[in-house]
Structure 1
Amino acid sequence: MNIIFSIDQLEEVAQQIIASNPKKVILFHGEMGVGKTTLIKQLCKTLGVTGATSSPTFSLVNEYETIVNQLIYHFDFYRLNEEVEALDMGIDDYLYSGNWCFIEWAEKIPNLIPEAHSVLTISSLADGKRYLQLS
């Protein structure tokens, strides 16, 4: 799936992503500030999270609950120094829980990523729009 979009199309983009039936573990790739967290917030809303969502930069993981009691985990491993830190926080329990796992900066934990995952890459275009590729 390839999409070019602007910020005002974010709701539609999130619906398209979910409708494409990706794996429940999704790795988000893109430069700092490209909109990974913003897209994850919209995905959470699309999946039924009604509470506040925020970047887990300092906590490493945020847990959200949908209106149908599904759990969604949002990880941000930017500050991680070693994979063992993710193991210490119980990353395996999250990744193999069957719940949605949205992971920013997954390149920090390459040996811990489950085989069954999707990759979502976002990049900025010259006109301010974003190019998204989901595989």
Structure 2
Amino acid sequence: MSILIVSHDLENLSDIARKILEYTYPHKKFLFYAGMGVGKTTLIKELSLQLGINDIVSSPTFSIVNEYVSISNGKIYHFDFYRLKNEQEAYDMGYEEYFYGDHYCFVEWPEKIPNLIEDDMVKINMQLEGEKRNIEIII
């Protein structure tokens, strides 16, 4: 199943995040495919807010993974695999513990770990087209 959401500005981002969570329920693993600066982290911040995270959500570019805790949804993990040199580094950090647990995982740059991606993970393709963003959700 594929759904396309078009965003013309950031003002409706909370509605978009809410729709994504509704459309994809009960899935908890999300893969974000987009170029640099397209808005992956911004969307993940809003998804995290919708899931009850009150902390400041930031890109884990250097730490690889950030952990947040929501009273209503438990642990939420945000990954940025941009700096991985190979999939072995994901194994070394214990990715299985995160990916196979019952908690939300938001993954930026999943292209770096193609052999670790499961079929039941939600794929979110984001593209800039002029002033608008196309957000395709594939379940």
TM-score (norm 2): 0.93
Residue 129 (str. 1) matches residue 132 (str. 2): yes
Decide which structure has greater strand share: 2
* Structure 2 counterpart of 1:44, from 39, 45, 48: 48
Q: Which sections of structure 1, spanning at least 5 residues, go unmatched? A: none
State the Cα distance separating 1:69 from its structure 2 match: 5.4
Structure 2 partner of 1:8: 11
**2:47 & 2:78 partners in 1: Cα distance?**
11
**1:70 & 1:21 partners in 2: Cα distance?**
18
Aligned residues: 134
State the Cα distance separating 1:114 from its structure 2 match: 2.2
**1:80 & 1:63 partners in 2: Cα distance?**
18
| Structure 1 segment 11-30 matched on structure 2, within 5 A | 11-22=14-25, 23-30=27-34
**2:73 & 2:56 partners in 1: Cα distance?**
15
Q: Identity rate of aligned residues, in percent? A: 46
Contact 2:30 2:105 in 1 (8 A): yes
**2:69 & 2:117 partners in 1: Cα distance?**
23
Q: CA RMSD in A?
A: 1.0
Supply the AA of the counterpart residue of 1:114. E
Structure 1 partner of 2:108: 104
**2:99 & 2:61 partners in 1: Cα distance?**
18
State the Cα distance separating 1:16 from its structure 2 match: 0.3
The runs of at least 4 consecutive aligned structure 1 residues that moved more than 3 Å come to: none
* Structure 2 counterpart of 1:61, from 60, 65, 68: 65
Residue 57 of structure 1 aligns to a residue in which SS?
A: coil
Q: Deviations over 1:16-63 (max 9, x none)?
A: 000112521110001100000000000000010011110000000000
State the Cα distance separating 1:129 from its structure 2 match: 1.6
Residue 84 (str. 1) matches residue 111 (str. 2): no
TM-score (norm 1): 0.95
Contact 1:95 1:114 in 2 (8 A): no
